[in-house]
Amino acid sequence: MDIICSKCGKMILITDDRVPENKIFTLTCPQCKNKISMTDRVKNEVASPARDSFCLSIPESPGPESPPVSQHIPVLQVGLPKEGIDFFDEGDKTALICDDKNTDLLKATMDKLDYKISIAKGVNDAITKLRFTRYDAIILNENFAGCSPAGNPILDYIQPMPMVKRREIFVALLGQDLRTMDNMAAFLKSVNVVINTNEIRNIRNILKRSIEANDRFYKVFKDSLKVKG
């Protein structure tokens, strides 16, 4: 089960065997200590069977008019969304852009690199897209949608991906304190390349070079996967 704290946006992963059946339970966000109330996915009056998680925020000091926990409206629902899923043709190279400061430039850059592009509207939209669409490239600003570099929920979602799946995705992380093409920083962040936002005007050359290097590095691995099916 994937849970996102409604206060700070931290992504919290909980295995299904730790989720009590048919019960409401609470947990504390490890980042901001916000109290989160969770109901099991089978609670039909709040979530349909197709949805697999949602989170509720409990006010720290409930007022006299605050409704009971069971009546709070979910602040996030992750599952089969009504909208936001991208559909591409087989063989398309696809890219997800999560940057609300350099959207037009990044869109033009990835378009020139022959990618079909999707623009994330916010954190929830980005994670929904990642759950239901496989992208060849993800361009993420570590401050996207007001997130902090230390607690970016999209990066938190990407980092624990199984290695076989993660190797199929090129991830570029943009940040104002990052040193462009610092391999150690990229390794520590579990991304393929880091780029300082002050060098955004040169991003096409940086991405082109980095993507080509990544493709060469994993060519044998990807070819063997295709043979195995």
CATH classification of the domain holding 157? 3.40.50.2300
Reported as a single tens digit per residue, the pLDDT across 141-193 is: 999 999 988 889 999 999 998 887 888 899 999 999 999 999 999 999 999 99
- Asked whether the beta carbons of 55 and 4 are under 8 A apart, the reply is yes
pTM of the model: 0.63
pLDDT given at position 191: 95
Please state, in angstroms and rounded to a whole number, the distance separating the CA atoms of residues 148 and 156: 12
- Helix/strand/coil for 122: coil
158 closest CA partner among 168, 148, 147: 168
Question: What local confidence, expressed as pLDDT, does residue 219 receive?
Answer: 79
Which pLDDT band holds residue 86 (cuts at 50, 70, 90)? confident
pLDDT surpasses 90 at 205:
yes
Residues 102 and 208 in one domain: yes
Sign of CA dihedral 101, 104, 110, 115: positive
How many structural domains is the chain composed of? 2
DSSP state of 200: G
**Residue given tokens 């509720």 in the structure block:** 56
**Mean pLDDT (whole number) for 47-73:** 39
- Quote the domain boundaries for residue 194: 94-228
Calculate mean pLDDT across residues 126-136: 90
